[in-house]
Amino acid sequence: MSITRRDFFGAGATAAASFALGRPAGVAPVTASPFWRVSRAGREAGRPAVIASANGLRGVAKALDLMQHGADPLDAAIAGVNIQELDPTDHSVGLGGLPNEEGVVQLDASCMHGPTRRAGAVGAIEDIATPSLVAKAVMDYTDHIFLVGAGAKQFALEMGFTPQDLLTPESRQMWLRWKANLNPNDNWLDHDDDVKGAYTHGTCNMNAVTASGDIGSVTTTSGTSWKLPGRVGDSPIIGAGQYNDNDVGAAGSTGRGEANIKICGAFFVVEQMRLGATPEEACLRALQRAVAMTEARLLDTRKHPRYDLTYYAIAKDGRYGSANMYEGAQFAIADAAGARLETCAYLFKRDDRPTGPVPAHALTH
């Protein structure tokens, strides 16, 4: 969709006035494109509700229960992602997260609180298992939004967080296997057989809306495995890894952070909802934009991306939706119908996934 700056602000004003009444005047619906398949025309509205990446299934159930008992939406969402951050078997976040190329686990997280319009984030923080809580502490106790590296860790220690070694035996073995297999002629012996755990790459994004319509959002990750030390992805960047506007809704992402950063994906999704798109439509539009902004080296001969990316969105009225670049992905949702996994909308069929070798970094998060 291409609009002028004048059209954007004009449509935005109309949307703000009529959001609760349905699609704003003058904003066309998303039309079905030959290359995307929408999983459903729309998701039912209902509050309270929580949406998350698939690894947040336990988390959405917890967050919903907390909100049903009066908890703040951000506190509830953070409690939800804490489950994954403290689970050593989830190698995508927190304790047990996969390390950088030097074997050091560096974590990223960000959060936003809709009612107060405040935000906090940390990047490349080490030795603290719950970066989502440190991000909230940055929001609650400082005039800053984003702390990184050694400064972020020092702040966490001053706030009373307990440091610990985040590299578990299993994640260490995964790192050693990667290192050994880098070069068949190096001095490291390959040892595939002694590591039974599968590689897992990911992030946990969670967005919550209370019964009264207040919103909280959070994203936490250990980032791309074997990344360059100091690499920061989209997760701690407000407007990329997650974003919310208490008048509209919230959105977040998992997948290739570098692709998402370039389109300010979470902000883009929320603004599409402001203009009248359903959450699912907004997520699909963000994927289209990401493909359009993808550099040639990450596209196959059919112009399909050699990476994965998923968006999750929830509107102020409780409608929700998610879309993945390729068919078959799932997301977690909890509302009056309970906590469950549902299927994402998508741009490309599973059969359209890139063939042949894919760069190792392209599918990580």
The residues annotated with a catalytic role in the active site are 203
**Who's near 174: CB < 8 A, 6+ residues apart?**
91, 98, 195, 197, 199, 225
Burial label for 288, CB within 10 Å (0-12, 13-18, 19+), is middle
- CB of 255 within 8 A of CB of 307? yes
Classify residue 250 by its DSSP letter: E
3-state secondary structure of 190: coil
Rounded Cα–Cα distance for residues 105 and 131 (Å): 12
Rounded Cα–Cα distance for residues 186 and 28 (Å): 58
**What single letter denotes the amino acid at residue 266?**
A
Distances (CA, A) of 293 to 296, 303, 316, 365: 9, 11, 29, 18
3-state secondary structure of 20: helix
- CB of 260 within 8 A of CB of 253? yes
What six digits make up the tokens of 168?
């578990």
HSE (CB half, 13 Å, CA atoms) of 17?
Answer: 8
